[in-house]
Amino acid sequence: MERAVYLAQLLRRPLVGGDGEVVGRLADVIVRLRGRDYPLVTGLVARVAGREVFLPAEQVADLGAEKITLASPRVDLRHFERREGEVLLRADVLGHRVIDVADAELVRAYDIELRQRPDGWVLTCLDTRRPPRFWGVLAGHAARPDWRDWKSFEPLIGHARSARVRGPFARLGRLKPADLADLLEDANRTESHEILQTVHADPELEADVFEELEPDSQTRLLRERSDTEIAQVIARMRADDAADAINDLPQSRRRPVLDALPAGQRTKVLTLMGFNPSSAGGLMALDVLTMAASSTVAEALRAAGEARTLQPEALTSVYLVGEERRLLGVVTLVELLQADPAARLEDVADRDPVRAGPDTDVEDVALLMTDYNLLTVAVADDEDRVLGVITVDDVLDMVIPQEWRRREPAPHPAHRVAEPGPGDVPHDTPPGS
């Protein structure tokens, strides 16, 4: 049966040579991350004669709760220096927060389980339940650890050279942009920098995450970047979100960021910045799928399928336009899918579509969408020329009260178990049993 030990018990335990002589005491345990496999213990950091030194795993005969037995009492007394890819369990993980990938939240690691396997000692579980405080112990409240599989977490080590060995996404690749944004808003400065370093490997994902951030968090994280770096993120954001992000920057930084944007995005952003941010004009997306009224249903469906640059939320409807983009009608994609492919759009469309003016207040837009059960509403000028389209998610983002966003989230369901990898042993029994 596999034997388990716990880091909190091991720390400061004596290191004993084969002759029983105490050589030093344990200061830390070193592991190397191995992708989907459990991290392997590669050595120990020992405190010997007032200095920290390295002991390779091969020199450790046994890890015991009372003492650590060495195969040889000979110790290299050169000062320990961390090598690339090494993770120190006490310094980097124990007492630090890690990302619970299944629940998309930051939790703290209060203890670490190590198990002896044929290939050596490996890190298998974390205890994420806070132990009882002093008065709780006096009251008889026993500590009930919450041991969870290591593969359920992504560590935030705060060590750049170690972070590189985890790959560009690691377990964070499973999270949605909104989940990553929530993590960033809860993270401290060091944690947020490491999360962003991982997200930065995918520029499109990075832009999506910044779109999901609350304005104060978005501004705080953007202000730490250069004008060119801000422009690189904003260039990939939706134009309406990009305009809001630039408006929230300090006045002195807006023009340099705008100048660094690609011409097309800069034109869109400047157009939207000319409207009140809480008006229909400030909320709208400028890219709209429009077709001539004489087009067929089949042509409209094909155009929708090829409109990969438009945000998906704006593709619920096709707008019919005439000369100078004057609004003539609207037809939803569901109606198109149910119509004769050879039919003309003017024969299946609503020829009196709901529309909003660019100066319409967002509350009035919300009422329009509610009254007419709309997912999108066109924005048109006084001459009925289509300027853009507003999506329901943008309206909700504006009208939901700020205090609602700060409510405690609903309780998470039971923890999901990570998929075991080759050779893994499921943790369906208490550790050490």
Which CATH number does the domain housing residue 84 bear?
A: 2.30.30.240
- In terms of Cα–Cα distance, which of 127, 152, 173, 161 is closest to 38? 152
Q: Is the pTM for the entire model greater than 0.85?
A: no
* Burial degree of 215 (CB within 10 A; 0-12, 13-18, 19+): exposed
Give the CATH number, domain containing residue 322: 3.10.580.10
Q: What is the pLDDT of residues 315-367, one digit of tens each?
A: 999 999 999 999 999 999 999 999 999 999 999 999 999 999 999 999 999 99
Same domain, 65 and 120: yes
Same domain, 19 and 126: yes
Dmax (CA) of the chain: 95
Task: Give the pLDDT confidence score for residue 167 in this predicted structure.
Answer: 53
Task: Give the pLDDT confidence score for residue 126 in this predicted structure.
Answer: 96
Is residue 232 a part of any domain in this protein? Answer: yes
Same domain, 262 and 299: no
Task: Give the pLDDT confidence score for residue 413 in this predicted structure.
Answer: 54
pLDDT, mean of each 10-residue run, the chain (433 residues): 87 87 93 89 92 92 89 84 89 93 92 93 93 53 74 77 54 85 93 89 92 93 95 95 94 96 96 93 94 97 93 92 96 96 97 96 95 95 96 88 61 50 44 41
Q: What is the pLDDT of residues 37-70, one digit of tens each?
A: 899 999 999 999 889 999 999 999 989 878 999 9
Geometric angle at alpha carbon 236, from 222 and 226, rounded to 5°:
30
Is residue 190 a part of any domain in this protein? Answer: no
Q: Which of 130, 158, 183 is the endpoint of a domain?
A: 130
Range of the domain at 224: 203-274
Give the span between the Cα atoms of 225 and 385, in whole angstroms: 39
Same domain, 304 and 391: yes
Q: How far is CA 367 from CA 133, 337, 373, 379, 429, in A?
A: 51, 28, 10, 15, 54
Answer whether 286's CB lies under 8 Å from 271's CB. Answer: yes
Number of domains in the chain: 3
Write the DSSP assignment of 151-193 as a string of letters: GGEEE----HHHHHTT-SSGGGGGS-HHHHHHHHHHS-HHHHH
Same domain, 15 and 121: yes
Same domain, 294 and 270: no
Is residue 182 a part of any domain in this protein? Answer: no
Backbone angles phi, psi at 340, to 5 degrees: -65, 125
Task: Decide: helix, strand or coil at residue 220.
Answer: helix
Same domain, 297 and 335: yes
Task: Decide: helix, strand or coil at residue 84.
Answer: coil
Give the span between the Cα atoms of 90 and 8, in whole angstroms: 9
Same domain, 259 and 318: no
Same domain, 254 and 329: no
Same domain, 270 and 298: no
Same domain, 303 and 231: no
Same domain, 262 and 302: no
Is residue 411 a part of any domain in this protein? Answer: no
Is residue 187 a part of any domain in this protein? Answer: no
Is residue 308 a part of any domain in this protein? Answer: yes
Task: Give the pLDDT confidence score for residue 76 in this predicted structure.
Answer: 83
